[in-house]
C-alpha cells in the first residue's frame, strides 16, 4: 500500500471514529433536533454558550494565579539574587524565549488560553473530556473520609497519571512533536511553566479527567493539590538550581532535577519525567541525581526566532508531518525519546 493510500485510510478511519463517538454521545439531542427543529437551535446555542463560558473573566482566578506567581518569583529572587532572577530578565524583555513564556502567562491569567486551546484544536479534547466525564464516574473519594488522606491518595494517583502522560509525550513520535514546544525554551524561567502549546493543553485536559472519574468531584484535596503543585511547578522551572538535598531526592522534584529533564545534553534524555513527587521516577528507574547542566532546550532549536505565531505554526506543521510520516525535524533524531 502506497504512503498516500495508507495516510488517507488512517485519516478516514480517524474521522469515522470521531464522528461515531460524537453521534453516540449526542444521539438523543440529535434525534430530538430531527423530530423538532426548534431543539436544534437550543442544542447549538448550549454548545456555543459552553464555549463562551471559557472566556468569562474571573477575578478570583486572576488574583490566585498572580499571588502564586508572586510567591514563586519572590522565593526565586531571594534564593538566586536579583542579578540572576527571572523577574529582572522579564522586565528587560531581551530574551525571546522568556518573552514567549510571558505571552502564555498573560493568556493563562486572563482565561484566554483555554478558549484558544478549544478553538484552535476544533474542540476535540474539550468534547472528549465532556464525553468521558459525563459517561463514567466511580466516586471513590466518597470512601476516603479524611481530607489529609484524600490529599495523599489523590496526589499519588494524579502524579502516576501525569508521569505516564509525560513519558508518552517523549516516547510517541507525534506527541513529541507537540511537547517539544515546551522544551524549546532555551532559558529556564519561572514562567516557562506556562509555555505549553494549545494542542498539548487539550491532550492533557483529556487525560487529566482520569483522577476526577476515579475519585469524583469536588474534593477538598483538589484545591490544596492545585495550589501546591502550581507553586511547585513554577519553582522547578525557575533559575533556582538546587537539588534540595534529601527532600529533592526522595520527596518532591527539585529545580535541578527538572533542569536535567530540560537539558539539551543526550546523556540527560529519558530521565526525571515526574513533575511533583519523585516516587514514580524512583520506582520506574528514570530518576537522575544532581549533575551539571550546560544548556537547556533543543539541540537544533527552530523556535524563539521568528515570533510566537511562527512557533505555534511550526508545531502544527511538525505534528502533521509526524502523523502522515513526512520528514520530521532533524533534532528529533536526538531529542525524541
pTM comes to 0.82
Q: Which residues pair with 218 in a beta bridge?
A: none
Render pLDDT for 146-180 as a digit per residue (tens, 0 to 9): 777 877 888 888 899 999 999 999 999 989 999 99
- Inter-residue contact 300 to 331 (CB < 8 Å): yes
Give 263's strand partners: 296
Q: Which residue has the cell 514514580?
A: 280
Per-residue pLDDT reduced to its tens digit, 39-90: 666 666 766 666 666 667 778 888 889 999 999 999 999 999 999 999 999 8
Q: pLDDT value at position 110?
A: 86
Measured between its terminal Cα atoms, the distance across the chain in Å is 28
For residue 124, what is its C-alpha cell?
476535540
pLDDT for 8 beyond 80: no
Please classify residue 134 by burial: count the beta carbons closer than 10 Å to its beta carbon, then call 0-12 exposed, 13-18 middle and 19+ buried. exposed
Query: Closest by alpha carbon to 189, among 269, 279, 72, 293?
Result: 72
Please, are residues 264 and 296 in contact by the beta-carbon 8 Å criterion?
Answer: yes
In the numeric block, the cell 530540560 is attached to: 262
Summarize pLDDT for 196-217 with one digit per residue, the tens. Answer: 999 999 888 778 777 777 777 5
Amino acid at each position: 500500500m502506497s504512503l498516500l493510500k495508507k495516510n488517507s485510510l488512517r485519516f478516514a478511519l480517524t474521522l469515522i471514529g470521531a464522528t461515531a463517538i460524537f453521534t453516540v454521545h449526542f444521539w438523543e439531542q440529535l434525534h430530538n433536533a430531527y423530530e423538532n427543529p426548534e431543539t436544534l437551535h437550543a442544542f447549538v446555542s448550549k454548545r456555543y454558550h459552553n464555549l463562551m463560558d471559557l472566556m468569562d473573566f474571573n477575578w478570583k482566578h486572576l488574583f490566585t494565579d498572580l499571588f502564586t506567581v508572586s510567591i514563586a518569583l519572590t522565593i526565586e529572587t531571594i534564593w538566586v539574587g536579583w542579578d540572576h532572577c527571572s523577574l529582572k530578565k522579564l522586565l528587560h524583555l531581551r530574551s525571546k524565549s522568556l518573552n514567549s513564556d510571558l505571552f502564555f502567562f498573560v493568556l493563562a491569567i486572563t482565561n484566554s488560553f483555554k478558549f484558544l486551546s478549544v478553538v484552535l484544536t476544533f474542540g476535540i479534547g474539550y468534547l472528549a473530556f465532556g464525553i468521558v466525564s459525563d459517561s463514567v464516574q466511580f466516586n471513590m473519594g466518597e470512601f476516603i473520609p479524611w481530607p489529609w488522606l484524600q490529599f495523599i491518595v489523590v496526589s499519588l494517583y494524579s502524579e502516576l497519571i501525569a508521569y505516564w502522560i509525560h513519558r508518552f509525550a517523549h516516547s510517541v513520535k507525534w506527541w513529541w512533536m507537540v511537547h517539544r514546544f515546551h522544551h524549546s525554551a532555551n532559558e529556564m524561567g519561572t514562567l516557562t511553566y506556562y509555555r505549553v502549546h494549545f494542542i498539548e493543553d487539550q491532550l492533557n485536559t483529556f487525560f487529566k479527567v482520569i483522577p476526577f472519574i476515579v475519585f469524583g468531584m469536588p474534593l477538598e484535596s483538589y484545591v490544596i493539590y492545585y495550589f501546591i503543585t502550581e507553586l511547585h511547578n513554577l519553582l522547578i522551572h525557575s533559575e533556582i538550581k538546587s537539588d534540595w538535598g534529601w527532600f529533592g531526592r526522595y520527596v518532591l522534584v527539585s529545580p535541578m532535577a527538572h533542569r536535567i529533564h530540560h537539558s539539551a545534553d543526550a546523556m540527560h534524555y529519558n530521565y526525571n519525567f515526574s513533575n511533583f513527587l519523585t516516587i514514580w521516577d524512583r520506582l520506574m528507574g528514570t530518576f537522575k541525581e544532581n549533575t551539571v547542566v550546560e544548556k537547556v532546550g533543543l539541540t537544533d532549536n527552530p523556535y524563539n526566532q521568528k515570533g510566537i505565531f511562527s512557533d505555534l505554526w511550526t508545531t502544527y506543521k511538525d505534528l502533521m508531518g509526524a502523523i502522515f510520516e513526512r520528514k520530521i525535524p532533524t533534532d528529533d533524531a536526538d531529542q525524541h525519546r
